[in-house]
Amino acid sequence: MLVLLKRGVSEAATRDVATRLQMFGLSVHRTDHAGQVRLGAVGEPGGVDWTRISQWPDVESVAEIPVPFKLVSRTFQPHDTVISVGRCAIGSRQLAIMAGPCSVEGEEQAFTIASAVARAGATVLRGGAYKPRTSPYSFQGLGEEGLKLLRRAADAHGLAVVSEVMDAQQVGLVARYADILQVGARNMQNFSLLKEVGHAAKPVLLKRGLAATIEEWLMSAEHIRSQGNAQVILCERGIRTFETYTRNTLDLNAIPVVKELSHLPVIVDPSHGTGIRNKVGPMARASIAAGADGLIIEVHHDPDHALSDGAQSLYPDQFSELMEQIRTIAGVLGRQV
Ligand code: PEP
Ligand code: MN
């Protein structure tokens, strides 16, 4: 339920209303919008007399949140969530551009790519140190060593870091090095991981599952938000369809749909969304045109020898040219890179 408080209600009175709602067994979350306190009371225990509550002196009104993803919905919070990471305000007029290798492979590789993407205008360096690979015989990532390299390469070029965390036990370790915790497509419904990143003090990049509906994806975001972490960034990365020409089918419909349903920022990963180098640019441009708040793109200086996803990685020059095009498109839409 959404409990709207009267304008000008004191902090003490706000706390008092929240405490009384908690006494019904509800969990209470707050957002302030247009000078008004909005409380999301979730975990409906049944038997709560909402008509009575709507008559409490500090309460203006009570309304149902008509979707299952309560706290990430626009009904609870009408305004966009903006997440500050390094030099980037994700979800603002400024586009968030994250780029880097699929996997961190070594010092020279990490520093070379960090330098190239920073020069082209990215503000966040991506790179996996723990890799979810379909085959157990493929490169599994450098682990903590990879995180250390990624952090040093990013710091050397004024970039923030996003890196994947694969299980709940790893959250503390990855959070020590990364500014954004990535939950991969294969883990979108790993509920113990969602709970753990929900307690972390770092933003979470939640990728859409390979076969997840938009509602399931938003419910996973709700798992994180309901644990107290309000800094969730959604990432469309393509879904599995009957089409096999591309690695996945990038669902650009999801951008305007999610922007309407949720206040969370939405970025797009056209690298995994297409799986084909020369299809990344067109879909990156289309994503921004469709209203995405940013991009996450795989870039490698020597993709033929990349230990993962070389075929979908852009050369630094291609990334740089794409950034120029993105700047132009952003300008048309009143946004900046
Ligand atoms: C990745 O970003 O390298 C990755 C593994 O992505 P996804 O979880 O979307 O497949
Ligand atoms: Mn990859």
Ligand 1 pocket test, pick from 190, 237, 312 with the greatest ligand atom count within 8 Å of Cβ, gives: 237
Burial class (CB in 10 A: 0-12, 13-18, 19+), 115: middle
Q: What pLDDT does 28 receive?
A: 98
The number of the ligand 1 atom at minimal distance from the alpha carbon of 131 is 5
Q: What pLDDT does 296 receive?
A: 99
- For residue 283, give the H/E element and its range: helix 277-289
- Residue 64: pLDDT band with limits 50, 70, 90: very high
Tokens 């070594």 sit at which residue?
106
- Judged by its nearest atom, the ligand closest to the C-alpha of residue 133 is 1
In one-letter notation, the amino acid at residue 252 is L
The number of the ligand 1 atom at minimal distance from the alpha carbon of 308 is 3
> Distance, CA 99 to ligand 2 centroid (Å)?
11
The whole-angstrom distance between residue 121's C-alpha and the CA centroid of its chain comes to 20
The number of the ligand 1 atom at minimal distance from the alpha carbon of 237 is 9
Q: Which residues line the pocket of ligand 1, CB cutoff 6 A?
A: 102, 128, 132, 184-186, 207, 237, 269, 272
Q: What pLDDT does 46 receive?
A: 83
Describe the chain by its helix, strand, coil percentages, rounded to 5. 40, 20, 40
> Distance, CA 298 to ligand 2 centroid (Å)?
7
In this model, does residue 160 exceed pLDDT 90? yes
> Distance, CA 86 to ligand 2 centroid (Å)?
23
- d(Cα 112, Cα 315) in Å, to the nearest integer? 12
Ligand 1 pocket test, pick from 272, 295, 297 with the greatest ligand atom count within 8 Å of Cβ, gives: 272
Residue 20 has φ and ψ, to the nearest 5°, of -65, -35
Q: What pLDDT does 29 receive?
A: 98
Ligand 1, atom 6, lies closest to the CA of 184
DSSP assignments along 40-79, one per residue: EEES--S---HHHHTTSTTEEEEE---SS--TTBTTT--S
Structure tokens given for 13: 């009175």
Note the pLDDT tens digit of each residue in 95-122.
999 999 999 999 999 999 999 999 999 9
- Residue 220: pLDDT band with limits 50, 70, 90: very high
Residues with CB under 5 A from ligand 2 (ion): 102, 309
Q: What pLDDT does 164 receive?
A: 98
- Mean pLDDT within 256-268: 98
- Judged by its nearest atom, the ligand closest to the C-alpha of residue 186 is 1
- Residue 333: pLDDT band with limits 50, 70, 90: very high
Full-model pTM? 0.97
- d(Cα 192, Cα 297) in Å, to the nearest integer? 28
In this model, does residue 44 exceed pLDDT 90? no
Ligand 1 pocket test, pick from 131, 208, 240, 269 with the greatest ligand atom count within 8 Å of Cβ, gives: 269
- d(Cα 277, Cα 273) in Å, to the nearest integer? 11
Note the pLDDT tens digit of each residue in 270-316.
999 999 999 999 999 999 999 999 999 999 999 999 999 999 999 99
In this model, does residue 45 exceed pLDDT 90? no
Q: What pLDDT does 7 receive?
A: 96
